[in-house]
């Protein structure tokens, strides 16, 4: 049984003839209460995570902007663009493309290099030609090979 009646009293409201019942919670009720707390916490955390995955928070000199993303992901959720240069625009093409799509190119006007082209055309160039780390460079390839050799030697020493 989940609940037990401990005592009945009419001392609190004798005129109305109402009986107040003191209830002692059993162990099942306490477990259920804990379960409800965990479920509520899970719903709150998942809701805030979903909200964070759907927006870009962009900090620029003089303003903070919150704009919606095209898709749900955690990449570039928080962007500090106060010290951006033209190469930084090319490293964050999704944020720049979203600002172009929303017609808010003026937000990143300080970050474009030359004054002879429009801000929008320079931002479009940054989106079309993103900077991507070259994974096929000789140094990266040699480093990967060295790490693979080290790992395979370690595995052999464990099983020998």
Q: Is 64 helix (H, G, I), strand (E, B) or coil?
A: strand
pLDDT of residue 2: 47
Instruction: Answer whether 0.75 is exceeded by the pTM.
Output: no
pLDDT of residue 156: 74
φ, ψ at 69 (rounded to 5°):
-90, 165
- The Cβ-side half-sphere exposure at 26, using a 13 Å CA radius, reads 6
Closest CA to 125 of 85, 83, 93: 93
What would the pLDDT profile of 94-125 be if each residue is shown by its tens digit? 899 999 999 988 888 888 876 777 888 888 88
Distance CA 88, CA 93 (A): 9
Task: Using 70 as the pLDDT threshold, list the residues of the chain that sit under it.
Answer: 1-26, 114, 132-141, 160
Closest CA to 53 of 28, 70, 29: 70
pLDDT of residue 132: 64
């Amino acid at each position: 049984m989940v609940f037990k009646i401990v005592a009945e009293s009419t001392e609190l409201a004798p005129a109305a003839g109402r009986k107040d019942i003191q209830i002692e919670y059993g162990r099942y009720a306490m477990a259920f209460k804990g379960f409800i707390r965990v479920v509520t916490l899970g719903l709150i955390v998942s809701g805030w995570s979903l909200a964070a995955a759907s927006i870009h928070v962009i900090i620029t000199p003089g303003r903070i902007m919150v704009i919606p993303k095209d898709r749900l992901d955690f990449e570039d959720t928080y962007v500090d663009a106060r010290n951006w240069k033209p190469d930084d625009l090319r490293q964050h093409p999704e944020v720049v493309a979203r600002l172009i799509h929303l017609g808010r190119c003026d937000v990143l006007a300080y970050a474009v290099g030359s004054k002879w082209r429009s801000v929008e055309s320079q931002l479009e160039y940054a989106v079309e030609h993103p900077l991507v780390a070259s994974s096929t460079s000789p140094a990266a390839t040699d480093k990967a090979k060295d790490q693979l050799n080290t790992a395979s030697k370690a595995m052999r020493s464990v099983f020998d």
